[in-house]
Amino acid sequence: MRTIDDLDVSGKRVFVRADLNVPLDGDRISDDGRIRAALPTIRALSERGARVIVAAHLGRPKGEPDTRYSLRPVAARLGELLGTDVAFATDTAGESARATSEALTDGRVALLENVRFEPGETSKDDAERGELADRFAQLADLYVGDAFGAVHRKHASVYDLPARLPNAVGGLVLTEIEVLKKLTSHPQRPYAVVLGGSKVSDKLGVIDNLLGTADRLLIGGGMVFTFLKAKGYEIGSSLLEADQIDTVKGYLERAEREGVEIVLPVDVIAAEKFATEAAHGPADVEDIPADRMGLDIGPRSRVLFAEKLADTRTVFWNGPMGVFEMEPYAGGTRALAQSLIDSDAFTVVGGGDSAAAVRSLGFDEAAFGHISTGGGASLEYLEGKDLPGIDALA
């Protein structure tokens, strides 16, 4: 796999597919972590005299322009972080994109409007994606794939465009793959995986694969209530995926056969409703009130999880332990993050909400071994799936 060091980029237009899918509050960026993660590759190309054309998506627009998902605020922040003006194309692959590309000079950077404003970007039709990839290819001489958060998608700017231009892998994607290989190829043991988030159905594939790899699975977040229900507990009005109960029972039985320890909370923070101001308090998992819902792991569970992580050598964490955006239900995620920092393990935070939680709760990112930019891509890699955006980089 070629890297950007293998490309002669001076004076060339280099199309960089980055992951700049940041959370926006109106036009204010509430977490610029993904922009900062993209800087090293963009800066390295710019300093070598490339004319850098950055493309990215934001949110889930319906294949047409939508001002709520414009990348204009991202262009401004990217410029601030680079310390230089970043030109902004007001369309994705049209007249503005072509004019912006042609106007670039050596070392300068431009950002295209949201690639998902084009229906061809996410189309399942090869010809439709290919037509957009052809237009993208007219904007540049070289391609660099550096959007790890999108490499599990068979999209025009991720999968089809690399076939049309000399290409290379960006530094961010290269680092992500190297880290994930440490989790799949002879990880130092004990190897623990912490899974949270709302739905167990989002994690079925990775759980199935990890039962043959990990020594210990710690389960929290909304998904834990399907596990608790599968064990016969009443869960009040907590989140439940009833159609997954039998699958979860199968995982519990398989884990016992294969000697993989599954650690579930022993108590939760149960609230009258999904709201910050709701009456709430700890409840043992055997005694969750019928009219309350679990929104975080409880204090005894936080101690238990810390104990189960204390002797680990490798930990992968994906998904918060509770509704960390609401302060009454942030304690479990905060305690878990601190437990990872306190351990001697190589710790990998698996992107998405977990990475956002680390930053929003005030932790130093440098205290963790690696913070991924792609939650979904990380999970699919750990499932053993092929990643189209990686396969496309010949």
pLDDT tens readout for residues 271-324: 999 999 999 999 999 999 999 999 999 999 999 999 999 999 999 999 999 999
Q: Is 130 among the residues known to form the active site?
A: no
Whole-prediction pTM value?
Answer: 0.89
pLDDT of 126-176, one tens digit each?
Answer: 999 999 999 999 999 999 999 999 999 999 999 999 999 999 999 999 999
Q: Which of 43, 59, 376, 385 is catalytic?
A: 376
Angular region, 384: left φ>0, alpha ψ -120 to 50, beta rest:
left
**For position 62, what pLDDT does the model report?**
92
Q: Is 189 among the residues known to form the active site?
A: no
Tell me the backbone φ, ψ of residue 26, rounded to 5 degrees. 70, -120
Distance linking the first and last C-alpha atoms of the chain: 6
pLDDT of 202-236, one tens digit each?
Answer: 898 899 999 989 999 999 999 999 999 999 999 99
- Evaluate if residue 352 carries a pLDDT over 80: no
Q: Which of 12, 13, 17, 34 is catalytic?
A: 34
pLDDT of 93-138, one tens digit each?
Answer: 999 999 999 999 999 999 999 999 999 999 999 999 999 999 999 9
Q: Which of 120, 352, 375, 389 is catalytic?
A: 352
Q: Is 164 among the residues known to form the active site?
A: no
Q: In this structure, are residues 192 and 309 in contact, taking their beta carbons and an 8 Å threshold?
A: yes
What would the mean pLDDT of 252-279 be, rounded to a whole number? 97
Q: In this structure, are residues 223 and 203 in contact, taking their beta carbons and an 8 Å threshold?
A: yes
Q: Which of 199, 249, 313, 359 is catalytic?
A: 199
**For position 376, what pLDDT does the model report?**
87
**For position 40, what pLDDT does the model report?**
98
Rounded CA-CA distance 384/318 in Å is 16
pLDDT > 70 fraction of the chain, expressed in percent and rounded: 100
Q: Is 332 among the residues known to form the active site?
A: no
